[in-house]
Amino acid sequence: MYTAFLDLEEIQGPHLVHVWPVPYQGTVSFGSGTKNGPEALLRASYQIETFDPQLNADISDLCSFKTLPFQRPSAAGPDRLHLDMDEVLKGYDPAEDFFLTLGGEHSIALPLIRFYAAAHPDLTVIQIDAHADLRPEYQGSPFSHGCIMSRVSELGLKTVSLGTRSMDREQFEIINNNPEQILILHPWDLPGPAAAAREVRSFIGSGPVYITFDADGLDPSIMPGTGTPEPGGLSYNWISEFWRNLWPGPGLVGMDFCELAPQAGNVVSESVGVKCIIKILLSYFRTVNNLTA
């Protein structure tokens, strides 16, 4: 089992990132395999260069990584898992500690969002996702992976959704009726990444953000390893340019990458996932260290 991210556990960059693998798939509703996502991401990270020539920056110069033990999945359901995660988070400070959480299904994001919202009541959640995830409950559970953003909305937080292209009519109406709380940029009328970043910054202001990244927000041509793929998703180049243009801007307090279901004999999905994570971290932390070119 791989237990470190990017094989950089001994590198001491100025910004500490706690990497938390949470291999949970208790409410998946179509394809399975998200329980294998964290290890696949860690394994793939050993093969990815830490230097980004586009940004002219190396993640090893900016971040140090401390990988926590794998969170033990609960057989009692997602609400029990969330309580177990809350217990772990009690040992950390949401005003200081940066978590990169590796799922697992998307429901694992809720304890992290609650954790940061406790210290940042003006927090905005940026959601990369094919699905709106605004169902009040799904398959009998309000904590299903299909309900995560409904729970976030109940916290009173603003949200930004990118890549979202699948929802029922009720979720569509929720979005349209809450323009001050929910900003959604659909793939079919997506502006260029620089224009999108300006729109998002205008909506967020200068407040803190948390990024919850569902792998299926990307197009399945580059992210085939996910349980609920949808055509017409974001390209790697678009989302990379978006992050590069978002900062300098709002502060990033933490992030997750969820819903990776690795495919046997195909390492494309986990490799793309690691590249997406590095691009976010580099795009943000290089601006903190005034390394923008």
Q: pLDDT of 144-187, one tens digit each?
A: 666 788 888 899 999 999 999 999 999 999 999 999 999 999 99
Overall average pLDDT of the 25-39 stretch: 74
Average pLDDT, rounded, for the chain:
91
Whether 292 shows a pLDDT value over 80: the answer reads no
Mean pLDDT in residue range 28-44: 82
Least confident of 34-48, 130-144, 164-178, 242-256: 130-144
Amino acid (one-letter) located at 52? D
State mean pLDDT over 47-60: 94
pTM score: 0.94
Contacts (Cβ under 8 Å, ≥6 apart) of 17: 5, 63, 64, 65, 66, 98, 99, 100, 281
Q: For residues 105 and 227, give the distance between their C-alpha atoms in angstroms, rounded to a whole number.
A: 9
From CA 144, how far away is CA 254, in angstroms rounded? Answer: 22
User: Would you call 159 helix, strand, or coil by DSSP?
Assistant: strand
Give per-residue pLDDT as tens, 73-116: 877 677 889 999 999 999 999 999 999 999 988 899 999 999 99
For the chain, domains (ranges, CATH) are 52-70+102-288 (3.40.800.10)
Express the helix, strand and coil content of the chain in percent, nearest 5 each: 40, 20, 40
Residues sharing a CB contact under 8 Å with residue 70, sequence separation 6 or more, in sequence order = 21, 22, 23, 38, 39
Task: Report which of residues 29 and 132 the model is more confident about.
Answer: 132
**Contact between 101 and 256 (Cβ < 8 Å):** yes
Looking at the DSSP bridge assignments, the partners of residue 216 are none
Do 226 and 215 contact (CB within 8 A), yes or no?
yes
